[in-house]
Amino acid sequence: MDWIKENYERALLGLLAVVALASAGLASWEALSFPEKFAERNSPKKADNKTVPPNIQAVDSAAEVAAAPRSFSAHDGSLLVSRPYVLKGDVLMDPLEDGQELHPPIKNAWLIKYNLDYADSGIREQDPDKDRFSNLEEFVAGTDPTNDQSVPPYFTKLRLVKFDPKPFRLRFSGTPDDGQTFSINTKDLGGRTQFLQIGDMIQGAPYKILSFEAKKTTKNEMDVDVSELTIENTETGQKIVLVFDKEADDPTSYGEFAYLYDDSKIRVKKDDEFTLKPEDGKKYKLVDISAQEAVIQDLATREKHRIGRAE
């Protein structure tokens, strides 16, 4: 140690010499291994410098996915949201699996699909998209309760309130000149008798005389006059056969309806056409009516629909 202290510079120089020799040896070793490391580069085979074209379809698909990222909501199989459960009474039930509808006839899965609050007791009557159709009406029609452009048919808002038949009684009482003139009594027009010919209109009523056929039959060994006078309702096109001395009735019926879409009242005569707001371009026809129900026809599709009586 004393020698190192006395010959510090010589000792340091010796150490540096040893490090230099070690570095020189390592460099020589690396140089000797160069041929082995670069053997592939010395290969006679030419390098493949062709550029691989990009997969444009994959790029476009990735762009579409990026433009419309997935959203997560409470539904069966959701990654981040638990399956929905509800406490009914003292039992925790799975509305998707237990088979018990919370708001029949609406299916639980339908409520969950549209993210509706199935725990709300009034959910059937609610109208989330404000299109004037309840969740129950949208479920029955198969429309989207969260989209005001997806609505049930407007005629489903009709309810029959009143059936109003207006009878019109007619009686063919004879022909004084064997088929040239006909006497017709209109009981609902004051009971007066009119004398008319083929082609004439019955005064005060939309009936036209079309034809006459003289007919007789035998009853109790006596000839009985059963001649027929055919008339036509010019408003409806309906033909009525009046048999001699027998009363016939052609009731003109009206239907009074409540239109729940805008809480209005509609009065329609049987066989007349009508429209419903807001689809004013669509025409319907009242083709049949009774005290229990009415039948309307879509004039574009020819489909017939039954309209029930208001509760």
According to DSSP H, which parts of the chain are helical?
2-6, 8-32, 34-37, 56-67, 108-113, 135-141
Q: Does 47 map to a domain?
A: no
Q: Say if residue 184 is exposed, middle or buried (CB neighbours under 10 Å; 0-12, 13-18, 19+).
A: buried
Q: What is the pLDDT of residue 102?
A: 83
Q: What is the pLDDT of residue 87?
A: 65
Do residue 33 and residue 69 come from a single domain? no
Do residue 174 and residue 239 come from a single domain? yes
pLDDT per residue as tens digits for the range 63-121: 777 777 666 554 554 556 666 676 666 666 777 766 678 889 999 889 989 999 888 88
What is the domain count for the chain?
Answer: 4
pTM above 0.75, yes or no: no
Q: What is the pLDDT of residue 67?
A: 77
Q: Does 86 map to a domain?
A: yes
Q: Domain span at residue 20?
A: 2-37
Do residue 227 and residue 257 come from a single domain? no
Strands (E), 148-251: 158-166, 169-174, 182-186, 193-196, 207-213, 216-219, 222-225, 228-233, 239-243, 247-249
Q: What is the pLDDT of residue 249?
A: 78
Q: Which residues of the chain have pLDDT under 70?
A: 1-15, 18-19, 22, 24-49, 69-84, 86-92, 97-99, 191
Do residue 112 and residue 191 come from a single domain? no
Do residue 6 and residue 68 come from a single domain? no
Take residue 39 and report the two structure tokens written for it: 């053997």
Do residue 196 and residue 239 come from a single domain? yes
Q: Does 43 map to a domain?
A: no
Q: What is the pLDDT of residue 234?
A: 86
Q: What is the pLDDT of residue 178?
A: 84
Do residue 277 and residue 293 come from a single domain? yes
Q: What is the pLDDT of residue 5?
A: 59
**CATH no. for residue 223?**
2.30.30
Do residue 237 and residue 196 come from a single domain? yes
Return all residues near 279 (Cβ < 8 A) that are at least 6 apart.
154
Do residue 234 and residue 263 come from a single domain? no
In the chain, count H helices and then E strands.
6, 18
DSSP letter at 179 equals S
Do residue 106 and residue 148 come from a single domain? yes
Do residue 107 and residue 188 come from a single domain? no
Q: Which of 152, 184, 206 is the last residue of a domain?
A: 152
Q: What is the pLDDT of residue 43?
A: 58
Q: Does 48 map to a domain?
A: no
Q: What is the pLDDT of residue 46?
A: 65
Q: Which of 89, 123, 152 is the last residue of a domain?
A: 152
- Residue 103 has a CB neighbour count (10 Å cut-off) of 20
Q: Does 148 map to a domain?
A: yes
Q: Does 208 map to a domain?
A: yes
Do residue 145 and residue 65 come from a single domain? yes
Q: Which of 93, 127, 152 is the last residue of a domain?
A: 152
Q: Does 304 map to a domain?
A: yes
Q: Does 191 map to a domain?
A: yes
Cα 253 to the center of its chain, rounded Å: 32
